[in-house]
Structure 1
Protein backbone atom coordinates (compact mmCIF):
# COMPACT_ATOMS: atom_id res chain seq x y z
CA UNK A 1 0.00 0.00 0.00
CA UNK A 2 1.53 3.33 -0.99
CA UNK A 3 -0.21 5.25 1.81
CA UNK A 4 0.87 2.84 4.56
CA UNK A 5 4.10 4.69 5.59
CA UNK A 6 2.08 7.88 6.11
CA UNK A 7 -0.55 6.06 8.17
CA UNK A 8 2.15 4.41 10.28
CA UNK A 9 3.80 7.77 10.97
CA UNK A 10 0.41 9.19 11.99
CA UNK A 11 -0.12 6.28 14.38
CA UNK A 12 3.30 6.89 15.97
CA UNK A 13 2.53 10.62 16.17
CA UNK A 14 -0.76 9.86 17.93
CA UNK A 15 1.02 7.52 20.36
CA UNK A 16 3.51 10.25 21.27
CA UNK A 17 0.69 12.74 21.81
CA UNK A 18 -1.00 10.21 24.11
CA UNK A 19 2.26 10.10 26.06
CA UNK A 20 2.10 13.90 26.27
CA UNK A 21 -1.44 13.53 27.57
CA UNK A 22 -0.18 11.30 30.42
CA UNK A 23 2.53 13.84 31.21
CA UNK A 24 -0.04 16.65 31.24
CA UNK A 25 -2.11 14.67 33.75
CA UNK A 26 0.99 14.16 35.88
CA UNK A 27 1.74 17.87 35.60
CA UNK A 28 -1.77 18.68 36.82
CA UNK A 29 -1.31 16.38 39.82
CA UNK A 30 2.13 17.85 40.58
CA UNK A 31 0.78 21.41 40.50
CA UNK A 32 -2.20 20.51 42.68
CA UNK A 33 0.05 18.73 45.21
CA UNK A 34 2.70 21.47 45.09
CA UNK A 35 5.32 18.85 44.10
CA UNK A 36 7.94 21.05 42.43
CA UNK A 37 10.55 18.30 42.04
CA UNK A 38 8.12 16.04 40.20
CA UNK A 39 6.97 18.99 38.07
CA UNK A 40 10.56 19.67 36.99
CA UNK A 41 11.03 16.02 36.03
CA UNK A 42 7.81 16.06 34.03
CA UNK A 43 8.84 19.25 32.23
CA UNK A 44 12.21 17.73 31.29
CA UNK A 45 10.52 14.59 29.99
CA UNK A 46 7.99 16.73 28.15
CA UNK A 47 10.78 18.65 26.44
CA UNK A 48 12.37 15.43 25.16
CA UNK A 49 8.99 14.18 23.98
CA UNK A 50 8.35 17.44 22.10
CA UNK A 51 11.59 16.94 20.18
CA UNK A 52 10.46 13.43 19.25
CA UNK A 53 7.05 14.74 18.14
CA UNK A 54 8.79 17.35 15.99
CA UNK A 55 10.84 14.60 14.32
CA UNK A 56 7.72 12.53 13.72
CA UNK A 57 5.92 15.54 12.27
CA UNK A 58 8.79 16.05 9.81
CA UNK A 59 8.62 12.35 8.93
CA UNK A 60 4.85 12.61 8.40
CA UNK A 61 5.38 15.55 6.08
CA UNK A 62 8.01 13.65 4.07
CA UNK A 63 5.64 10.69 3.68
CA UNK A 64 2.90 13.07 2.60
CA UNK A 65 5.15 14.63 -0.06
CA UNK A 66 6.22 11.17 -1.25
CA UNK A 67 2.58 10.16 -1.65
CA UNK A 68 1.76 13.36 -3.54
CA UNK A 69 4.72 12.82 -5.89
CA UNK A 70 3.60 9.23 -6.43
CA UNK A 71 0.22 10.56 -7.54
CA UNK A 72 1.99 12.71 -10.14
CA UNK A 73 1.69 16.08 -8.39
CA UNK A 74 4.98 17.91 -8.64
CA UNK A 75 4.14 20.73 -6.21
CA UNK A 76 5.22 20.53 -2.60
CA UNK A 77 1.85 21.55 -1.25
CA UNK A 78 1.45 21.54 2.50
CA UNK A 79 -1.79 19.56 2.57
CA UNK A 80 -3.69 18.75 5.70
CA UNK A 81 -5.13 15.26 6.15
CA UNK A 82 -8.59 16.20 4.88
CA UNK A 83 -7.14 17.61 1.66
CA UNK A 84 -4.85 14.61 1.29
CA UNK A 85 -7.74 12.18 1.74
CA UNK A 86 -9.31 13.65 -1.41
CA UNK A 87 -6.34 12.27 -3.36
CA UNK A 88 -6.85 8.75 -1.96
CA UNK A 89 -9.13 6.58 -4.09
CA UNK A 90 -8.71 3.20 -2.41
CA UNK A 91 -11.67 2.90 0.03
CA UNK A 92 -9.69 0.92 2.61
CA UNK A 93 -6.78 3.41 2.64
CA UNK A 94 -9.20 6.34 2.75
CA UNK A 95 -10.97 4.84 5.77
CA UNK A 96 -7.66 4.16 7.55
CA UNK A 97 -6.59 7.75 6.96
CA UNK A 98 -9.91 9.11 8.25
CA UNK A 99 -9.79 6.86 11.32
CA UNK A 100 -6.30 7.93 12.36
CA UNK A 101 -7.15 11.56 11.57
CA UNK A 102 -10.15 11.39 13.92
CA UNK A 103 -8.16 9.64 16.65
CA UNK A 104 -5.32 12.15 16.40
CA UNK A 105 -7.76 15.08 16.44
CA UNK A 106 -9.44 13.71 19.59
CA UNK A 107 -6.09 13.20 21.32
CA UNK A 108 -4.96 16.73 20.44
CA UNK A 109 -8.26 18.21 21.63
CA UNK A 110 -8.00 16.40 24.96
CA UNK A 111 -4.37 17.49 25.31
CA UNK A 112 -5.32 21.12 24.63
CA UNK A 113 -8.05 21.04 27.27
CA UNK A 114 -5.70 19.57 29.87
CA UNK A 115 -2.97 22.08 29.04
CA UNK A 116 -5.48 24.93 29.39
CA UNK A 117 -6.49 23.58 32.80
CA UNK A 118 -2.83 23.30 33.84
CA UNK A 119 -2.24 26.89 32.77
CA UNK A 120 -5.16 28.05 34.90
CA UNK A 121 -3.92 26.05 37.89
CA UNK A 122 -0.43 27.50 37.58
CA UNK A 123 -1.85 31.03 37.28
CA UNK A 124 -3.92 30.50 40.41
CA UNK A 125 -0.93 29.08 42.29
CA UNK A 126 1.19 32.08 41.30
CA UNK A 127 -1.57 34.48 42.34
CA UNK A 128 -1.78 32.74 45.71
CA UNK A 129 2.00 32.96 46.19
CA UNK A 130 1.93 36.65 45.26
CA UNK A 131 -0.94 37.28 47.69
CA UNK A 132 0.87 35.37 50.45
CA UNK A 133 4.05 37.39 49.90
CA UNK A 134 2.03 40.60 50.03
CA UNK A 135 0.56 39.52 53.37
CA UNK A 136 3.96 38.60 54.77
CA UNK A 137 5.52 41.82 53.55
CA UNK A 138 2.84 44.15 54.91
CA UNK A 139 3.84 46.32 57.86
CA UNK A 140 1.73 46.27 61.02
CA UNK A 141 0.71 49.90 60.46
CA UNK A 142 -0.99 49.04 57.19
CA UNK A 143 -4.63 48.84 58.04
CA UNK A 144 -7.15 47.42 55.62
CA UNK A 145 -9.58 50.21 56.53
CA UNK A 146 -10.08 53.58 54.98
CA UNK A 147 -7.95 56.47 56.16
CA UNK A 148 -8.20 60.03 54.96
CA UNK A 149 -5.37 60.74 52.49
CA UNK A 150 -4.46 64.02 54.25
CA UNK A 151 -3.87 62.13 57.48
CA UNK A 152 -1.37 59.69 55.97
CA UNK A 153 2.33 60.09 56.42
CA UNK A 154 4.87 58.94 53.86
CA UNK A 155 7.12 57.21 56.37
CA UNK A 156 6.82 53.54 57.16
CA UNK A 157 7.31 52.18 60.63
CA UNK A 158 9.28 49.05 59.75
CA UNK A 159 9.90 46.64 56.91
CA UNK A 160 7.83 43.48 56.63
CA UNK A 161 9.13 39.98 57.24
CA UNK A 162 10.81 40.04 53.85
CA UNK A 163 12.65 42.91 52.23
CA UNK A 164 10.70 43.24 49.00
CA UNK A 165 13.47 45.30 47.33
CA UNK A 166 16.17 42.68 47.79
Structure 2
Protein backbone atom coordinates (compact mmCIF):
# COMPACT_ATOMS: atom_id res chain seq x y z
CA UNK A 1 0.00 0.00 0.00
CA UNK A 2 2.70 2.52 0.95
CA UNK A 3 4.73 1.70 -2.15
CA UNK A 4 1.78 2.74 -4.31
CA UNK A 5 1.41 5.96 -2.33
CA UNK A 6 5.13 6.61 -2.75
CA UNK A 7 4.92 5.96 -6.50
CA UNK A 8 1.89 8.23 -6.84
CA UNK A 9 3.53 11.04 -4.89
CA UNK A 10 6.71 10.81 -6.96
CA UNK A 11 4.62 10.93 -10.15
CA UNK A 12 2.90 14.07 -8.84
CA UNK A 13 6.28 15.58 -7.97
CA UNK A 14 7.55 14.85 -11.48
CA UNK A 15 4.55 16.56 -13.06
CA UNK A 16 4.77 19.56 -10.73
CA UNK A 17 8.51 19.98 -11.17
CA UNK A 18 8.15 19.67 -14.93
CA UNK A 19 5.49 22.37 -14.90
CA UNK A 20 7.67 24.53 -12.64
CA UNK A 21 10.59 24.08 -15.05
CA UNK A 22 8.41 25.28 -17.93
CA UNK A 23 7.54 28.35 -15.85
CA UNK A 24 11.21 29.10 -15.22
CA UNK A 25 11.91 28.91 -18.95
CA UNK A 26 9.04 31.35 -19.53
CA UNK A 27 10.48 33.55 -16.79
CA UNK A 28 13.76 33.75 -18.71
CA UNK A 29 11.95 35.07 -21.78
CA UNK A 30 9.95 37.54 -19.68
CA UNK A 31 13.11 38.83 -17.98
CA UNK A 32 14.72 39.32 -21.38
CA UNK A 33 11.75 41.38 -22.60
CA UNK A 34 11.45 43.30 -19.32
CA UNK A 35 7.67 42.83 -18.91
CA UNK A 36 7.19 43.43 -15.19
CA UNK A 37 3.45 42.70 -15.12
CA UNK A 38 3.93 39.33 -16.78
CA UNK A 39 6.82 38.59 -14.41
CA UNK A 40 4.63 39.39 -11.42
CA UNK A 41 1.90 37.01 -12.65
CA UNK A 42 4.45 34.30 -13.34
CA UNK A 43 5.96 34.64 -9.86
CA UNK A 44 2.52 34.21 -8.32
CA UNK A 45 2.03 31.06 -10.40
CA UNK A 46 5.43 29.78 -9.29
CA UNK A 47 4.51 30.33 -5.65
CA UNK A 48 1.37 28.23 -6.12
CA UNK A 49 3.45 25.43 -7.65
CA UNK A 50 5.96 25.58 -4.81
CA UNK A 51 3.20 25.37 -2.19
CA UNK A 52 1.69 22.29 -3.86
CA UNK A 53 5.14 20.72 -4.22
CA UNK A 54 5.62 21.20 -0.49
CA UNK A 55 2.36 19.39 0.27
CA UNK A 56 3.17 16.49 -2.06
CA UNK A 57 6.67 16.27 -0.58
CA UNK A 58 5.12 15.83 2.87
CA UNK A 59 2.99 12.99 1.46
CA UNK A 60 6.12 11.40 0.02
CA UNK A 61 7.95 11.66 3.33
CA UNK A 62 5.00 10.12 5.13
CA UNK A 63 4.93 7.20 2.65
CA UNK A 64 8.66 6.65 3.07
CA UNK A 65 8.26 6.65 6.85
CA UNK A 66 5.51 4.01 6.56
CA UNK A 67 7.68 1.81 4.34
CA UNK A 68 10.72 2.05 6.61
CA UNK A 69 9.37 2.76 10.11
CA UNK A 70 12.48 1.57 11.97
CA UNK A 71 14.68 4.40 10.58
CA UNK A 72 14.30 7.75 12.32
CA UNK A 73 14.69 10.00 9.25
CA UNK A 74 14.40 7.74 6.23
CA UNK A 75 15.29 8.84 2.73
CA UNK A 76 14.15 7.61 -0.65
CA UNK A 77 17.04 5.16 -1.06
CA UNK A 78 16.20 3.46 2.26
CA UNK A 79 12.96 2.21 0.70
CA UNK A 80 14.72 0.35 -2.09
CA UNK A 81 15.77 -2.52 0.18
CA UNK A 82 12.19 -3.17 1.29
CA UNK A 83 10.20 -2.70 -1.94
CA UNK A 84 9.78 -5.56 -4.45
CA UNK A 85 11.86 -5.54 -7.65
CA UNK A 86 9.16 -4.34 -10.09
CA UNK A 87 8.29 -1.28 -8.01
CA UNK A 88 11.96 -0.77 -7.19
CA UNK A 89 12.98 -0.33 -10.82
CA UNK A 90 10.08 2.00 -11.51
CA UNK A 91 10.88 4.10 -8.44
CA UNK A 92 14.60 4.22 -9.28
CA UNK A 93 13.83 5.49 -12.77
CA UNK A 94 11.38 8.09 -11.44
CA UNK A 95 13.93 9.16 -8.82
CA UNK A 96 16.57 9.70 -11.51
CA UNK A 97 14.13 11.73 -13.62
CA UNK A 98 13.20 13.86 -10.61
CA UNK A 99 16.84 14.47 -9.71
CA UNK A 100 17.63 15.49 -13.29
CA UNK A 101 14.62 17.80 -13.36
CA UNK A 102 15.65 19.46 -10.09
CA UNK A 103 19.17 19.97 -11.50
CA UNK A 104 17.72 21.57 -14.64
CA UNK A 105 15.54 23.81 -12.46
CA UNK A 106 18.59 24.95 -10.48
CA UNK A 107 20.50 25.77 -13.66
CA UNK A 108 17.58 27.70 -15.15
CA UNK A 109 17.05 29.63 -11.92
CA UNK A 110 20.77 30.47 -11.82
CA UNK A 111 20.50 31.84 -15.38
CA UNK A 112 17.46 33.90 -14.36
CA UNK A 113 19.35 35.21 -11.34
CA UNK A 114 22.25 36.30 -13.55
CA UNK A 115 19.90 38.03 -15.98
CA UNK A 116 18.18 39.93 -13.17
CA UNK A 117 21.52 40.93 -11.68
CA UNK A 118 22.69 42.19 -15.07
CA UNK A 119 19.47 44.17 -15.50
CA UNK A 120 19.91 45.78 -12.09
CA UNK A 121 23.49 46.74 -12.93
CA UNK A 122 22.28 48.38 -16.13
CA UNK A 123 19.55 50.30 -14.26
CA UNK A 124 22.05 51.51 -11.66
CA UNK A 125 24.47 52.56 -14.40
CA UNK A 126 21.70 54.45 -16.22
CA UNK A 127 20.63 56.20 -13.02
CA UNK A 128 24.23 57.17 -12.38
CA UNK A 129 24.39 58.83 -15.78
CA UNK A 130 21.21 60.81 -15.12
CA UNK A 131 22.16 62.10 -11.67
CA UNK A 132 24.24 65.28 -11.51
CA UNK A 133 27.66 64.95 -9.95
CA UNK A 134 27.71 66.54 -6.49
CA UNK A 135 30.15 69.42 -6.12
CA UNK A 136 32.76 69.10 -3.43
CA UNK A 137 31.72 71.39 -0.61
CA UNK A 138 34.10 69.93 1.92
CA UNK A 139 37.57 71.05 2.80
CA UNK A 140 40.18 70.00 0.33
CA UNK A 141 42.57 71.25 -2.28
CA UNK A 142 41.23 74.03 -4.50
CA UNK A 143 39.97 73.13 -7.93
CA UNK A 144 41.69 74.33 -11.10
CA UNK A 145 38.80 76.51 -12.26
CA UNK A 146 38.54 78.45 -9.01
CA UNK A 147 39.97 82.01 -8.83
CA UNK A 148 42.46 82.72 -6.03
CA UNK A 149 40.08 85.16 -4.37
CA UNK A 150 37.38 82.46 -4.27
CA UNK A 151 39.79 79.95 -2.83
CA UNK A 152 40.26 81.78 0.41
CA UNK A 153 37.10 83.76 0.88
CA UNK A 154 36.77 85.15 4.35
CA UNK A 155 33.13 84.20 4.66
CA UNK A 156 31.31 85.64 7.62
CA UNK A 157 34.33 86.41 9.77
CA UNK A 158 36.62 89.35 9.15
CA UNK A 159 40.08 88.06 9.81
CA UNK A 160 41.76 91.49 9.21
CA UNK A 161 40.16 93.11 12.23
Common fold: TM-score over 0.5: yes
Cα offset, 1:126, TM superposition: 0.4
Within-5 A mapping of 1:15-34: 15-34=15-34
RMSD in angstroms over aligned alpha carbons?
2.1
SS in 1 for 2:68: helix
Q: For the residues of structure 1 that align with 2:2 and 2:61, how far apart are their CA atoms?
A: 15
Cα offset, 1:140, TM superposition: 9.7
Q: For the residues of structure 2 that align with 1:86 and 1:150, how far apart are their CA atoms?
A: 79
Within-5 A mapping of 1:14-163: 14-69=14-69, 73=70, 75=71, 77-88=72-83, 90-139=84-133, 150-152=141-143
Greater C-alpha radius of gyration = 2
- Tell me, which stretches of 5 or more residues in structure 2 are unaligned? 145-161
| TM-score normalised to structure 2 length | 0.80
Cα offset, 1:87, TM superposition: 2.9
- Give the total of aligned pairs: 141
CA displacement 1:45-84 (0-9 Å, x = unmatched): 1111111011001111111112124xxx3x4x22222232
Q: For the residues of structure 2 that align with 1:136 and 1:118, how far apart are their CA atoms?
A: 27
Runs of 4+ in structure 1 deviating by more than 6 angstroms, as ranges, are: none
| TM-score normalised to structure 1 length | 0.78
Q: For the residues of structure 1 that align with 2:81 and 2:19, how far apart are their CA atoms?
A: 30
